[in-house]
A = this chain, B = another copy of it.
């Protein structure tokens, strides 16, 4: 359980307040989360299907990651009627679906440089036009 008096917690909260970028990053930062969102998006919407896709995850850890994604409204659980034992379906919300193209762009960004795109420094230091998303 998070200690609300810790420096770490206070620092996290101040970053969350500063810009939603920081809370957004924290929402996708769990070990398996990006992959889980992607697999659900692909149609692997059951607990056991996710386990098949991620053979190294334990039940406990998968349940925990799903709960956290649910707490951020990235997905919801729905009971499937007439199943014994009662089955649960994991459904991405609009928020979760909106996240998918961002995860894709992260994937492409990583792949580009992993595949050998040269690292360079922009030659001249011109003033960039920065979209100001924050107050300072």
Contact = CB atoms under 8 A, between A and B. Distances in A.
A47 interface: no
Contact of A31 (B12, B42, B107, B120): B12
A51 interface: no
A129 to B, nearest CB: 9
A56 interface: yes
- Residues of A contacting B: mostly: helix
Q: How many copies does the complex hold?
A: 2
B42 A21 contact: no
A102 B105 contact: yes
A43 B102 CA distance: 25
Contacts of A41: 128, 130
Contact of A73 (B95, B103, B123, B130): B130
B11 A38 contact: no
A126 to B, nearest CB: 10
A119 interface: yes
Contacts of A120: 93-94
Given A41-B128, A93-B121, A102-B106, 13 more contacts: A11-B32, A11-B56, A20-B109, A20-B111, A21-B103, A27-B110, A71-B133, A92-B122, A94-B119, A94-B120, A102-B105, A102-B109, A111-B133
